[in-house]
Amino acid sequence: MDNHDLRFMKKALKQARKGIGRTSPNPPVGAVIVRDGEVIASGYHKMAGANHAEVEALDSLNTDIRPGDCMYVTLEPCNHHGKTPPCTEAIIQKGIKKVVVGIPDPNPKVEGHGIEFLRQHQVDVKVGLLENECNRVIEAFKKLQLTGRPFVIAKSAQTLDGWTGTLTGHSKWITNEKSRKFVHNLRDKVDGIMVGVGTIIADDPSLTTRLRHQNTKDPIRIVLDTNLRIMHNSKVLNHDSSSETFIVAGEFVSADAVKEVKRKGVSIIKCPVKDGRIDLSALMAILGRMSIMSVLVEGGAAVMGSMIREKLIDKFYVFKAPRILGGNDGIPMADGKGPEKIDGSLNLKDIRVRRLGDDVLIRGYAAY
């Protein structure tokens, strides 16, 4: 495959990224159709139940397919009936004879079937182009398919000496406006955002997405509240968002306590408890069964520490601001008992570093 193939797959990836955070339980996928070195149609999967990327691209064509036309698609076309017909059949019916696929479908029940079906119908299929980028676009879908659990992202904003807040809990604002906007973009691209009830009691956040563009969405708010201590006037309970709030409580909470908290737009999830706190591993399985593909963990320190120790975080975004608290009594990123030796710490891989004004963002994947 040549540079032209790379260029067109990058265009398909650009389409796919438009769907991140909006397609659960389906993967975000992009497709373009190319004729004589030019893109003549494009599409992406917008939401579950809507047309898949391949059909979106085919439907946007203003011309009949000609010999030599080629479709570039980031993920293997589906070959099964779901809420929509198989994309493989649409490709064949339209007369596409060349398809370049970024990566096979990671679902073991699906992997390769769509590619095989197309080849059986005399379609020339090439597989394996910009595989790392294509896998990154569907990382949440892949995790859910292979483990039944959501892809978990941790976000932390810190001073240079590692504190996320002062002794009194004050943390507004450690990072600058560019970093905060980046976080709202993260919220826009995940299914859920998770915090402990301590964060709600201390800060009463809205946990919404505040961006100017029209296509923004709020994540589902997930609040860990073992004993249902949440204030009844808190913003996450009294919201006008189209996304729900999930309060995760212990299995033992009374029906009366649930009734006091439950209201329109708010659901209670009862979850097993371990050592007096929500069993986070059990919760991840519950969220997976609810088809929640991605969760952003924003705090607090106790939640972050537990998630790290239980190896439940897949990806980290750590923001470092040019501030030094200069004491030993601030709030750390993660609370609880850590390893006794450095070689017992969690290493990150695939590191990327980015400047956001005076702040520095470090992104990496957990190397369990």
**Token output for 244:** 């729900």
Letter for the amino acid at 149?
R
Cα–Cα distance measured from residue 145 to residue 140, given in angstroms and rounded to the nearest whole number: 9
Residues 6+ apart with CB under 8 A from 99: 70, 71, 72, 73, 77, 91, 118, 123, 124, 125, 126
Cα dist. 323→161, 171, 174, 304, 310 in Å? 8, 12, 8, 22, 30
DSSP 28: P
How many C-alpha atoms does 340 have within 13 Å on its Cβ side? 0
180 CB contacts (<8 Å, ≥6 apart)? 173
**CA–CA separation, 41 and 54 (whole Å):** 10
DSSP 128: -
Helix axes 113-120, 87-94, angle to 10 degrees: 20
Q: Please give the Cα distance from 239 to 55 (Å, whole number).
A: 36
Reading the block at residue 169, the tokens are 């809990």
Q: 198 CB contacts (<8 Å, ≥6 apart)? A: 300, 302
Tokens of 340: 């006794």
CA 24/CA 28 separation, integer angstroms: 8
Q: What is the amino acid identity at position 170?
A: H
Catalytically active residues are 54
Cα distance between the two ends of the chain: 34
* Contact by Cβ (8 Å): 141, 28: yes
Token pair 């439940």 is found at 312
What is residue 368's three-state secondary structure?
coil
